[in-house]
Amino acid sequence: GAHNSEVTRSKRVAGMITIQLLCRSSTRLHMDTLNRHGAEAARGAHNSEVTGSKPVAGIFVCKPL
């Protein structure tokens, strides 16, 4: 019994690390997208396009623990 709980715990930790790495790369991607949209907005792109990218900000909810 004790051994099984140890294995489960290490698997859970590994899963959390994977999620953190995914979040980190997603956040980096999101920053690139924001920068690109910012440049387009400066060039006079449609405001609706910039607004359309806002929901992606939900990615910032997952922060490293």
Q: How far apart are CA 11 and CA 7, in angstroms?
A: 6
Res 41 pLDDT > 70: no
Sign of the torsion formed by the C-alpha atoms of 47, 52, 65 and 28: negative
Q: How many CB atoms lie within 10 A of CB 20?
A: 14
Structure confidence at residue 63 as a pLDDT band (50, 70, 90): low
Element containing residue 17 per DSSP (H, E): helix 2-42
| Domain span holding position 53 | 2-61
- Give the mean model confidence (pLDDT) for residues 14-37: 79
The pLDDT value recorded for residue 42 is 64
Q: What pLDDT score does 61 carry? A: 54
The pLDDT value recorded for residue 23 is: 76
Measure the CA–CA gap between 40 and 49, rounded to whole angstroms: 9
* Greater model confidence, 29 or 53: 29
How many structural domains is the chain composed of?
1
pTM of the model: 0.34
